[in-house]
Amino acid sequence: MKLPVLKVNALPNLYKHCSTVYVLHIDLPPQSDDSFMQSYWEYIRAQMYQIIESNFVTAQATRVYAEHEECIVFKSNIEQKQLAEFLEYLMAEVDEYLDSAPEQAYRFVKAMIFEKGAQVKLFSANKVGDDLFDSMAYDHSVFTYRHQRKSRSKQLCSPQEYRPIYERQMKKRKEVKPVVKEKQSEPQENGYIEYYI
C-alpha cells in the first residue's frame, strides 16, 4: 500500500526518515476581502496547533512546515476519536465567537515523513506515493465541523481580544520605512596601497 509523502526540510526529534506518521492539517476558510478576518483565522489556526501540541504529548505531537504549510505530525499511538472530539470543542469555541462562521474543516491522513535530500530507505521504496498535498488520500480525508457541540472552556482568542494584536501588527508594518542606499564616496588614491593585517 502506497502512502502519501510529507516532505520536510528537517526531521523533528524522535521521528525517523521514511517512518509512518499521522498528519493533521486544519484548513483555513476561503480567502476573504477582510484582512482582519483573514489574519484572525491564521492566528486561530496557530493557536489550535499550539494547544493540540501541548495536549497530545504521549502521541508526540509536533508542528512541522511542509510545502509552506504548517501541520502537526503524530506517532502511531494517537487516539483518533479523542483528537476528533478535542478538535470539535475547539471549533465550537470559534463558532461561538463568530455568529456567521464559515464551515470549518480539518484533514487527518496517514503518511510517510520524508526528509528532503535524503535517499529512500530500501524497505520503504515500494511504499512511497504522491506528495501529501497533491494526493487523493489528502483530498478524501476532509472532516467538517457540524456545529453541534458547545465549547467547554475558553482556550482560544476571541476577535475582540485579537483586535489590539492586529492593530499593533498593522502599526509596525506602517512604521517600517523602505531602505534607501546612500551613494558611497570613492576612496581617494594616495599613490600607495594600504594592507590591513
Provide the whole-model pTM. 0.74
pLDDT value of position 139: 79
As given in the structure block, the three cell numbers for residue 185 are 564616496
Instruction: Please classify residue 35 by burial: count the beta carbons closer than 10 Å to its beta carbon, then call 0-12 exposed, 13-18 middle and 19+ buried.
Output: exposed
Length of the chain: 197
Residue 126 has pLDDT above 80, yes or no: no
pLDDT over 90, % of the chain: 2
Closest CA to 23 of 55, 66, 85: 66
Decide: helix, strand or coil at residue 46: helix
- Strands 128-131, 3-8: pairing kind: parallel
Closest CA to 87 of 51, 132, 140, 37: 51
Angle between helix axes 159-175 and 35-55 (nearest 10 degrees) is: 110
* Cβ atoms of 79 and 87 closer than 8 Å: no
pLDDT value of position 117: 80
Query: What does the alpha-carbon distance between residue 190 and residue 123 come to, in Å, rounded to a whole number?
Result: 70
Cα dihedral: 72, 73, 76, 81 (round 10) = 10
* Cβ atoms of 108 and 22 closer than 8 Å: yes
Cα Rg of the chain (Å, integer): 23
Residue 183 has pLDDT above 70, yes or no: no
Query: What does the alpha-carbon distance between residue 122 and residue 17 come to, in Å, rounded to a whole number?
Result: 12
Tens digit of each residue's pLDDT (9 = 90 or more) over 130-169 = 777 878 888 788 887 766 666 666 778 788 888 888 888 8
Residue 49 has pLDDT above 60, yes or no: yes
Residue 16 has pLDDT above 60, yes or no: yes
